[in-house]
Chain A
Amino acid sequence: MTTKKPQKNDPQQAKPHGRREFLKGAARAAAVGGAAMLAGCGGGMLGSSEELSLRWKEYFKKNYRLMTQAEKNATIRRLERLAKIKDGVNIQMSSAAPIDGVLFGYAFNVTRCEGYMECVAACVKENNLDRKSNTQYIRIFEMEHGQMSPEVGNAKYFHQVPVEDHFYMGVQCFHCENAPCTKACPTRATWKEPDGIVVVDYDWCIGCRYCMAACPYYGRRFNWNEPQVPLKDMTKKQHYLGNRMRRKGQMEKCTFCVQRSRAGRLPACVEACPTGARVFGNLLDPDSEIRFVLKNKKVFRWKEDLGTDPKFWYFID
């Protein structure tokens, strides 16, 4: 879906038409005008004319899914350049498309997890999550025996783990096959990719938060303030749909670390887990570890009655 063939794009590029082309033209004209104006008054206050021009083009760009590969490359170049101008930081952004024959799935070993929360820390670091509001995609619930729903657990524990007679359950976005959040979005700024990852086009999101209301798993996070990440801690290898820097007023969520998983690496949480409680892999590959778990372990999914068909299973050794 995201890998359109170049021949298809050629006629579009050759023949400017429609309102979008007009808007682009207007954007260009205004950018040139703005640049000229800024050049006149020195341009100190509002940033350089280059920055202004880049921001202007960013404002009028399309939804990611409608972009041609050339347009994707252009916006990525702009975002990399903006990061350089604004913070002096060199980022490498990818637009890697889903790989054919891959459908990602995740399994969580309830027996093994001991609540160290290394996964949470790794996720925050890898995904450039806002340090100011302490945003976390993963929640770990400390549970007493005799129950099996995170709703009755405690996610605010702050003591040495593991605690006797307790076990731990991790919760994050479950990347539902039948995701209520994507159905709710009024601008289609969030969708399920062909490899099963539910993503958000941060720049297309208008921040209405209807997806958040629709999610039965608390899988989404909103940027209430301008996210802050210290430059020295920033992960520079980024993906347009993944860990690139968000702005205030935008929705975000776990992407199974799309910047890693599409490059053949494990998500940061899986890699960081000291007990091996987290399993990630290709559901379409019969030899994958996740398929082994699904075949040989007793698995269950949370809130199965809602019909969301999550690609996230819990299992017990």
Chain B
Amino acid sequence: METTQEKVMMAEPSDKGILTFVRDCIKWNLSGGIVYQIYLCCLAALIMLGIYAYSVQTNLGLAATNMSDIVSWGFYIGNFTFLVGVAAAAVMLILPAYIFKDKDLYQVVIIGEGIANGALVMCILFILVDTGGPAKLWHLIPGIGIFNWPSSLLTWDIIVLNGYLALNMLVPAYILYCQYNHREPDEKKYRPFVFLSIFWAFSIHLVTAFLYQGLPARAFWNNPLMGPRFLASAFAAGPALITVVLLIIRNTTTYKIEDQTINKLRIIIVVSAIINLIMLFSEIFKEFYLPTHHSLPAIYLYFGLKGHSALVPWIWSGISMNLIGTLTLIWNPGRNKAKVLLPACILLFVGIWIEKGMGLIVPGLVPSPLGEVIDYAPSWVEVSIALGVLAIGAAFVTALIKPALIIEQRYEEGQNKGG
């Protein structure tokens, strides 16, 4: 009975409701080969670890972390800052795909949007686990609480992050729902939102940079180059991650990804990474040509200060990875072969993560305003919670991308048959 009904539906595609759409998406998400099932189990295990660690943190307070009154932001906020960049980077696909109608990038834009949404979910979770009173977050809701806008940059960040998440969920959901029902999505309906989301992508990362650069108390952050440099590093790290995901999808599914697409992404990464390195050089020049009191954080970061040098090996490995990754992508010795591209993208990604995560947050706070220097490394609770958050992000990305690819593939096959 059911099978005949399905056959009728397949033969004559009529509009299926949103409930069926959601049900199908869940079904597609849970089905997959043994490797996929193992992957899901690993994510579940990491999420459980994160929940356990968070319960410890809830019990002990943030004393369970290695943060202190001097290093008052650490691993969580570092990851948050980096991931805002990953989220913003989707614009490097959205802009050419929707506005310049680039066919190669249009094909993969949905994957970029999925990754951006996953990154945003992780951002919000990292902020959540960092607050001392997560149960009191309703104090932020205008009406029942107080939203200190426009004075507090943090409130700006809350607006732009949630707004970007909403935009980046809405547009792809509409396009996929149309394609699911074998209809051409109406461009007039979603184009305004695409424009808005492009503007929004730049704003999420600029606002996050302003959060830091607006503080004269912290010489290392109080730097007008921070906003632009955030964008450049994001537009390198984000597409690097997208390239990695594309290469994985190309090798594990039947979804077609052209060489041309990968090459265009590589060029985007290279250009952004070079701009990022130029700005890094400019910052380093300013700090070290005539070092002042305001250069102490940079000295602490790159060379150590008063016998404390926890970040020194960390930042130099980050910069080396950054350089090696960028140079490899410029020379492109493997001619876009995954064997070379994959490690180069991962190196660049990790390099920027080091530099823009802990390498940015900790020197902003050390030396303290009273000149005290301490070392900071995340505790097991912080690392476990971060792993849990990353696993939730990965699960979220998977849950968005997997059905999206199936729908797009079916839609294209249907079109090819029709045409």
Complex interface bits, B148-170 against A, C-beta within 8 A gives 1, otherwise 0: 10011111001000000000000
Min CB distance A194 to B, Å, is 19
Tell me whether B216 is interfacial, beta carbon within 8 Å. yes
Q: Tell me the smallest distance from the CB of A120 to a CB of chain B, in Å.
A: 14
Q: Is A274 an interface residue (CB 8 A)?
A: no
B265 nearest CB across to chain A (Å):
35
Contact of B139 among A23, A63, A133 (CB under 8 A): A63
Contact B132 A213 (CB under 8 A): no
A187 touching B370 by the CB < 8 A rule?
A: no
- B residues 194-250 near A (Cβ < 8 Å) are 211-212, 215-218
Within 36-88 of B, Cβ neighbours of A (below 8 Å) are at 60-63, 65, 67-70, 72-73
A20 at the interface (CB under 8 A from B): yes
Least CB distance from B109 to A in Å reads 33
- Which A residue's beta carbon lies closest to that of B370? A218
Is there contact, CB below 8 Å, between A222 and B69? yes
Is A205's CB under 8 angstroms from B143's CB?
Answer: no
Q: In whole angstroms, what is the CA distance A18 to B145 when docked?
A: 12
From A150, A203, A248, give the contact of B371 (CB < 8 A).
A150
Q: Assuming the A-B contacts A205-B132, A216-B217, are A20 and B144 also in contact, with contact meaning beta carbons closer than 8 angstroms in the complex?
A: yes
Q: Residue on B with the closest CB to A210?
A: B154
Q: C-beta contact mask, B344-385 vs A, less than 8 Å → 1, else 0?
A: 000000000000000000001101111110000000000000
Known pairs A152-B371, A180-B217; A212 contacts B72 (CB<8 A) = yes
Contact between B372 and A249, CB atoms less than 8 A apart: no
Q: A215-B369, A222-B69, A224-B68 are in contact. Are A186 and B152 (CB under 8 A)?
A: yes
Query: A23-B144, A155-B370 known; A186 and B155 CB under 8 Å?
Result: yes
- In angstroms, Cα B371 to Cα A317, docked, is 26
Of A151, A180, A206, A307, the contact of B132 (CB 8 Å cutoff): A206
With contacts A209-B72, A218-B370, A249-B62 taken as known, whether A187 is within 8 angstroms of B132 at the C-beta atoms is no
The majority secondary structure among interface residues of chain A is loop
Residue in B61, B73, B155 with the greatest tally of chain A CB atoms within 10 Å:
B61
Instruction: Decide if A197 is an interface residue (CB 8 Å cutoff).
Output: no
What's the least CB distance linking B293 to chain A, in Å? Answer: 7
Chain A residues in 8 Å Cβ range of B146: 63, 66, 187-188, 204
A213 near B365: Cβ-Cβ < 8 Å: yes
Find A184's partner among B127, B137, B153, B367 (CB 8 Å cutoff): B153
- Residue picked from B62, B68, B153, most chain A C-beta under 10 Å: B62
How far is B129's CA from A209's CA once the two chains are assembled, in angstroms? 13
Q: Pick from A19, A207, A208, A222: contact of B154, CB below 8 A.
A: A208
Q: B215 contacts which of A152, A171, A213 (Cβ < 8 Å)?
A: A213
Does B340 belong to the interface (CB within 8 Å)?
Answer: no
The tally of residues in B whose CB lies under 8 Å from a CB in A reads 49
Residues in A287-310 with C-beta less than 8 Å from chain B: 306-307
C-alpha gap A223/B154 in the complex (Å): 21
Contacts known (A180-B215, A213-B73, A221-B69); A188 close to B148, Cβ less than 8 A: yes
Complex alpha-carbon distance, A215 and B69, angstroms? 12
Say yes or no for B260: interface residue by CB 8 A criterion.
no
- Assembled-state Cα–Cα distance A158/B306 (Å): 19
Instruction: Determine which of B147, B216, B218 lies in contact with A186 in the assembled complex, contact meaning CB atoms within 8 Å.
Output: B147
Give Cα distance in the complex from A212 to B62, angstroms.
15
| Chain A: minimal CB distance from B81 (Å) | 12
Identity of the chain A residue whose Cβ is nearest the Cβ of B361 in the assembled complex = A213
A38 proximal to B (CB < 8 A)? no
Q: Please determine whether B72 and A206 come into contact, CB atoms closer than 8 angstroms.
A: no
Q: Which of A20, A218, A307 contacts B369 (CB 8 A)?
A: A218
Flag if B130 contacts A208 (CB, 8 Å): yes
State in angstroms the CA–CA spacing of A20 and B135 once bound together.
Answer: 17
In the assembly, what is the distance between CA of A218 and CA of B131, in Å? 19
Most chain-A CB neighbours within 10 Å: which of B72, B215, B293? B72
Interface centre among A141, A222, A307 (most CB of B within 10 A): A222
1/0 contact trace for A131-158 toward B, CB 8 Å? 0010000010100000001111101000
- Indicate whether B188 reaches chain A with its CB closer than 8 angstroms: no
A213 adjacent to B148 (CB under 8 Å): no
Say whether A225 faces chain B, with CB atoms less than 8 Å apart: yes
A180-B215, A222-B72 given; A207·B133 CB < 8 A? yes
Partner of B152, one of A66, A210, A226: A210
* Complex partner residue of A249 from B61, B67, B69, B367, CB under 8 angstroms: B61
If A155-B372, A206-B139, A223-B132 touch, whether A216 touches B144 (CB-CB below 8 Å) is: no
In the complex, chain B residues whose CB is within 8 Å of the CB of A307: 216
A206: contacting residue among B68, B137, B144, B217, CB under 8 A: B137
Any chain A CB within 8 A of the CB of B136?
yes
Alpha-carbon distance A19/B186, docked complex (angstroms): 39
The docked-state distance in angstroms from the alpha carbon of A150 to that of B217 is 15
B154 near A184: Cβ-Cβ < 8 Å: yes
Bitwise, A178-210 to B at CB < 8 A (1) or not (0) is: 001001111111000000000000011111111
Q: How far is the CB of A173 from chain B (nearest CB, A)?
A: 12
Q: Which residues of A contact B62 (CB under 8 A)?
A: 207, 222, 224, 248-249
Question: Distance in Å from the Cβ of B142 to the closest Cβ of chain A?
Answer: 10
Kindly report which residue of chain A lies nearest to residue B130, judged by CB atoms. Answer: A208
User: Of residues A171, A204, A207, which shows the largest number of chain B Cβ atoms within 10 Å of its Cβ?
Assistant: A207
**A151 — which chain B residues lie within 8 A by C-beta?**
293, 367, 369-371
Given A139-B370, A207-B133, A214-B215; 11 other pairs, CB 8 A cutoff = A23-B144, A59-B135, A63-B139, A187-B140, A187-B146, A189-B139, A208-B154, A209-B132, A217-B370, A224-B68, A226-B61
| Residues of A in contact with B (beta carbons under 8 Å apart) | 18-20, 23, 59, 63, 66, 133, 139, 141, 149-153, 155, 171, 180, 183-189, 203-210, 212-218, 220-226, 248-251, 306-307
Can you list 21 A-B pairs, Cβ within 8 angstroms, ordered by A?
A19-B144, A149-B371, A150-B370, A183-B152, A186-B154, A186-B158, A189-B139, A204-B146, A207-B62, A207-B136, A213-B73, A215-B217, A216-B216, A216-B369, A218-B70, A218-B368, A222-B69, A222-B132, A224-B62, A248-B63, A249-B132
